[in-house]
Structure 1
Amino acid sequence: MAVKLKWPWLGIAIPTFLISFIGYGAHYFILSNFLSVSKQILFELALSMIWVSYYLAIYTNPGRPLANYQPNPGIWPNFCKKCQNYKPERSHHCKSCNQCVLMMDHHCPWTMNCVGFENYPYFLRFLFWVILTTSILFYIQVKRIFFIWQQRNLPGYMFKKSELVFLTILSPLNFFILLTIAILLLRCLFNQILNGRSQIESWDIERLESLFDSGRLIQKLIDNTWRIYPEARSPQHERDAKKILTQRSTRFEELVNFPYSNNPYNNAILYLGPIHLWLWPFGTPKEDGNSFPKNDISKYEVDSPLEDIILSLPWPPDGGKTKTVSNHSNSMMETHNEGGEQIVRNRIAQKISESTTREKWYNEWGESLDDFGVDVDME
Structure 2
Amino acid sequence: MAVKLRWPWLGIAIPTLLISFIGYGAHYFILSNFLPIAKQIGFEFSLSMIWFSYYLAIYTNPGRPLPNYQPTPGIWPNFCKKCQNYKPERSHHCKTCNQCVLMMDHHCPWTMNCVGFGNYPHFLRFLFWIIITTSILFCIQVKRICFIWQRRNFPGYLFKKSELTFLTILSPLNFFVLLTITVLFLRCLFNQIVNGRSQIESWDMDRLESLFDSRRLIQKLIYNTWRIYPESKTLQHERDAEGLLKQQRSSFEGLVNFPYNFDLHTNAILYLGPVHLWLWPYGIPTGNGNNFPKNDISNYEVDSPLEDIILSLPWPPDGGETTTVSNPKTSTIETCNEGGEQVVRSRVAQNGRSASREKWFNDWGESLDDFGVDVDME
* TMscore range, shorter length: over 0.9
Q: CA deviation at 1:331?
A: 8.1
Residues 102-135 of structure 1, C-alpha deviations (whole Å, 9 max, x = no match): 0000000000000000000000000000000000
Q: CA deviation at 1:228?
A: 0.2
8 Å CA contact 1:323–1:354 kept in 2: the answer is no
Q: Which residue of 2 aligns with 1:368?
A: 367
DSSP 3-state at the match of 2:56: helix
User: Percentage identity across aligned positions?
Assistant: 78
8 Å CA contact 1:333–1:345 kept in 2: the answer is no
Whole-angstrom distance in 2 between the partners of 1:224 and 1:38: 63
DSSP 3-state at the match of 2:347: helix
User: Which amino acid is 1:37 matched to?
Assistant: I
Whole-angstrom distance in 1 between the partners of 2:345 and 2:362: 26
Q: Which residue of 2 aligns with 1:192?
A: 192
Q: Which residue of 1 aligns with 2:182?
A: 182
Matched, 1:356 2:349: no
User: Which amino acid is 1:240 matched to?
Assistant: D
Residues 13-57 of structure 1, C-alpha deviations (whole Å, 9 max, x = no match): 000000000000000000000001111001000000000000000
Residues 42-84 of structure 1, C-alpha deviations (whole Å, 9 max, x = no match): 1000000000000000000000000000001000000000000
Structure 2 CA distance for partners of 1:32 and 1:330, relative to 1, 3 Å: closer
8 Å CA contact 1:2–1:367 kept in 2: the answer is yes
Q: CA deviation at 1:286?
A: 2.2
1:153-232 matches, within 5 Å, as 153-232=153-232
Q: Which residue of 2 aligns with 1:377?
A: 376
Q: Which residue of 1 aligns with 2:57?
A: 57
Q: TM-score, normalised by structure 2?
A: 0.95
8 Å CA contact 2:11–2:109 kept in 1: the answer is yes
Whole-angstrom distance in 2 between the partners of 1:11 and 1:198: 22
Q: CA deviation at 1:325?
A: 2.2
- RMSD between superposed Cα atoms in Å: 1.8
1:122-141 matches, within 5 Å, as 122-141=122-141
Whole-angstrom distance in 1 between the partners of 2:43 and 2:352: 56
Structure 2 CA distance for partners of 1:289 and 1:187, relative to 1, 3 Å: same
Structure 2 CA distance for partners of 1:352 and 1:134, relative to 1, 3 Å: closer
Q: Which residue of 2 aligns with 1:36?
A: 36
The count of corresponding residues between Structure 1 and Structure 2 is: 370
1:317-332 matches, within 5 Å, as 317-326=317-326
Whole-angstrom distance in 2 between the partners of 1:82 and 1:268: 32
8 Å CA contact 1:257–1:297 kept in 2: the answer is yes
8 Å CA contact 1:2–1:372 kept in 2: the answer is yes
Q: Which residue of 2 aligns with 1:338?
A: none
Whole-angstrom distance in 1 between the partners of 2:191 and 2:330: 37
Q: CA deviation at 1:292?
A: 0.4
Q: CA deviation at 1:356?
A: 1.5
Residues 132-177 of structure 1, C-alpha deviations (whole Å, 9 max, x = no match): 0000000000000000001111100000000000000000000000
8 Å CA contact 1:270–1:287 kept in 2: the answer is yes
Matched, 1:6 2:11: no
Residues 303-362 of structure 1, C-alpha deviations (whole Å, 9 max, x = no match): 0000000000000000001102246x698699xxxxxxxx99766138579962100000
User: Which amino acid is 2:91 matched to?
Assistant: S
Q: CA deviation at 1:248?
A: 3.3
Structure 1 unaligned spans of 5+: 335-342
8 Å CA contact 2:91–2:102 kept in 1: the answer is yes
8 Å CA contact 1:257–1:311 kept in 2: the answer is yes
Residues 268-317 of structure 1, C-alpha deviations (whole Å, 9 max, x = no match): 00000000000000100121000100000000000000000000000000
Q: TM-score, normalised by structure 1?
A: 0.95
Whole-angstrom distance in 2 between the partners of 1:99 and 1:173: 36
User: Which amino acid is 1:356 matched to?
Assistant: A
8 Å CA contact 1:62–1:119 kept in 2: the answer is yes
Structure 2 CA distance for partners of 1:194 and 1:214, relative to 1, 3 Å: same
Whole-angstrom distance in 1 between the partners of 2:171 and 2:76: 50
Q: Which residue of 2 aligns with 1:79?
A: 79
User: Which amino acid is 2:208 matched to?
Assistant: L
Structure 2 CA distance for partners of 1:304 and 1:346, relative to 1, 3 Å: farther
User: Which amino acid is 2:368 matched to?
Assistant: L
User: Which amino acid is 2:371 matched to?
Assistant: F
DSSP 3-state at the match of 1:252: coil
Whole-angstrom distance in 1 between the partners of 2:305 and 2:148: 70
Whole-angstrom distance in 2 between the partners of 1:248 and 1:229: 22
8 Å CA contact 1:325–1:356 kept in 2: the answer is no
Matched, 1:256 2:256: yes
Structure 2 unaligned spans of 5+: 334-341
Q: Which residue of 2 aligns with 1:301?
A: 301
Residues 230-270 of structure 1, C-alpha deviations (whole Å, 9 max, x = no match): 00000000000011111132110000000000001100000
